Structure 1
Amino acid sequence: MVRRSPVGQGFAERLHFIEAVASMWVAGELVHIEDLVLHDADRDVRAPTHEVTIAHSILRARRRIASAEPEWGMGRSGVASLMGRSATFAERESGGEGSAASSTNLALDADESGFAVEMAEIDAVLDRSARALEAVATNEGRKSDALMVGELVVRDPEWDEDGRLSEWRAVLEEADALPATLAAAVIWDAWESMEPLQRQHWLGAQLVNSYLRVRGKVSSHLFGFCSGLKAIPRERRRSPKRISRVLAGLDAMTTGAELATKEVIRLGQAREHLERKLKGKRSSSSLPRVVDLLMTRPIVSSSMIVKELKVSHRAALDLVAELGVREVTGRASFRAWGVI
């Protein structure tokens, strides 16, 4: 349905934002989608919070997975790249196999945005700094169970991320024999139970989305697992019984698919309504590009239109007024519009 829809590409891009916010919600953090959209466009109206920064990391990870080959996201080098680790880690985890595959993965990694690369470098510096401080503490004869900044635990050296990831991959290999949706629910539950990563626990749900793509269950776009997971009560998602958690994962996939179908239909109807206002316009009109922008973003501000279309601020306001799109902020100083 998404592949055949005229709004399919816009829906797929819009879903990245929706899923990033939903992932934070499932983790117990509230991020307003308009803040994430504006932060992604470098048009923040205020300093981004820590939660918005994490949500943007999820957004970038989804885009990276969606732009690569289906198998990349679940591969060792793909997971290492999404974690911000180097290709050396992936080779060590896989036992150094496949130099040709490593070259391909390095080429894929080179395609990452400059910002993503910079963030990975920062993570590497922080990791090296943590190890250096830990070594200093050890040399001074003090026991270092974790690196502390005030009351904040930055890293637990006993966590053993590599070992937990290996255990999770063992579950992944066993799940490959199951039907795609059941296997996806199993690997999601395994990730939630094992907690392989300390700082990027959100990656597990995005790997589930990637897995459904690898298995061919959802090939037109990257699935929105967390969007469906929001509708599942926490008591079911965190049940002490494994069967209950797996069933909750299956229900989340069903709900996510239903929500996606409704959203595609809604966007299609909205686009048809907006395209009626394009009839009789000059071929050089910027209105069609504004419509395309509205389809790919949950909200659009005048500064975003100025940046994307290279027009003046006054022209951006005139374009939006001509389309008659609903204003969603209710503010005088900062205004934004969206297909609600």
Structure 2
Amino acid sequence: MARLDEAVRRSPVGEGFTERGHFFDSAASMWVAGELVHVEDLVLHDAHMDIRAPTHELTIAHSILRSRRRIAAAEPDWALSDRGFAGLTGSWQTEQPVEVPAVLDRAGKAGRSEELDPLAAEFAHIDAVLERSERLIGSMLKGDADAVPERRGLVVGDLMIRDPDWDEADRLSQWRSIQLKVQGMPPVLSAALLFDAWEVLEPIQRQHWLGGGLISAYLRYRGKVTSHLPTFSVGLKAIARERRRAKDRSIRLLAFLDAMSASSDAGMRELSRLQQARGQMERKLNGRRTSSSLPTVVDLVLSRPVVSAGMVAKAARVTQRGALNLIAEVGVREMTGRGRYRAWGVI
């Protein structure tokens, strides 16, 4: 892992390697969870160029992709802080709501003035309607006309069902206590212990996939990896499920350590391929005009697992026909072989 970190830091394709890693790790996270998401579909969905309606699994994979980008762009300790958890999950409010100062109205009573809030009367009417609706629903459920229903796991508007007995705050507190206990251990061992605790405790009910990103952020926070966000889930794909889900904790910890090693080995091979591909494509840039669109195409190919003609046309600001000509000049290999669309990339 340390060798990969140093190689990415010194490599001219380090940024492209990091961006490609987000896509591969997002698809691998879904694979570990038992769902199959094609990387090319994820790339097209991220570029808003879907060839079909996105599935539920593809939407979750894109959420993982966005969370990894957000973690990578922030400070190393941001994802592990309260503010980071609130930003990544949207489940916890770490800031106090801003209060609107009260002023005196024409009657001399404290309240919002019409100049500060011209829609106060309308909002008050809406609040009254909502209150009457809650009381009506409560009377139907409890047989009490004055009862106001308590908020349960099903929230109308969120369109998601949660287990009311799933105490996320308590589970997260337990996970945080383990994080404090392992602070004095080596970074890799601490990350393995934290990931095992995340798998056992399951602090977040609806976003269990966030554990891999938090472990990668923890390695950055401890200084083990500083040049990129590790692709931990890519290494988990190489580990048998019997080892990842073993009852013996020591077997699980060894499996997680092997996953980190496997992800680093895969990263070294990927970095070597990108460096070789960059060298081959840069030879075709010799003698080109400074206004040529080929450098833009080269950067796009190195930063995405696959590219389509539409993506190249949008990045280079050319037509679809011009994009096909640029792809042919760069010399990348076609990957999909599908009839509905064509895609190219570095193999």
Q: Shorter-chain-normalised TM-score: which range?
A: 0.7 to 0.9
- Structure 1 stretches (4+) deviating beyond 2 angstroms? 89-92, 135-139, 141-149
Aligned pair partner of 2:94 in 87, 90, 99: 90
User: What corresponds to 2:268 in structure 1?
Assistant: 261
Give the equivalent residue in structure 2 for 1:140: 141
* Structure with more of its chain in helix, by fraction: 1
Give ranges in structure 2 of 5+ residues lacking alignment.
1-6, 97-129, 144-149
The CA deviation at 1:146 is: 5.1
Please report the RMSD computed on the Cα atoms of aligned residues, expressed in angstroms: 2.5
Pairing of 1:267-282 with structure 2 (within 5 A): 267-282=274-289
> Are the equivalent residues in 2 in contact too, given 1:36–1:55 (CA < 8 A)?
yes
Check conservation: 1:165, 1:196, Cα contact below 8 A.
Answer: yes
> TM-score if structure 2 supplies the norm length?
0.81
Deviation track 1:195-227 (CA, whole Å, cap 9, x = no partner) reads 111110000111000000000101000001001
Task: Determine the structure 2 residue equivalent to 1:23.
Answer: 29
- Identity over aligned residues, as a percent? 57
**Contact 1:145-1:158 within 8 A present in 2 as well:** no
Q: Give the structure 1 partner of residue 121 of structure 2.
A: none
Residues 84-140 of structure 1 deviation map (CA, whole Å, 9 limit, x = unaligned): 235xx2358xxxxxxxxxxxxxxxxxxxxxxxxxxxxxxxxxxxx9xx99x946971
Distance 1:251 1:174 in 2: 23
**Could you tell me which residue of structure 2 aligns to residue 208 of structure 1?**
215
Secondary structure of residue in 2 paired with 1:90 = coil
Question: Shift of residue 331 of structure 1?
Answer: 2.9
What SS does the corresponding residue of 1:311 show, helix, strand or coil?
Answer: coil
Structure 1 position 43 matched with structure 2 position 44: no
Q: Distance in 2 between matches of 1:148 and 1:30?
A: 29
Verify: 1:309 aligned to 2:316, yes or no. yes
Deviation at 1:26, TM superposition (A): 0.4
Please name the residue that 2:165 is paired with. Answer: 158
Q: 1:171 aligns to what?
A: 178
Pair member with larger Rg? 2
Q: TM (normalized to structure 1)?
A: 0.83
Secondary structure of 1:140 counterpart: helix
Aligned positions, number = 299
| Cα distance between partner residues in 2 of 1:316 and 1:259 | 31
Q: Is the 8 A contact 1:35 1:44 kept in 2?
A: yes
Matches of residues 57-206 of structure 1 in structure 2 within 5 Å? 57-85=63-91, 89-90=93-94, 136=137, 140-141=141-142, 147=154, 154-206=161-213
Q: Give the equivalent residue in structure 1 for 2:336.
A: 329
1:246-276 alpha-carbon deviations (Å, 9 max, x no partner): 1111111111111111111111001111111
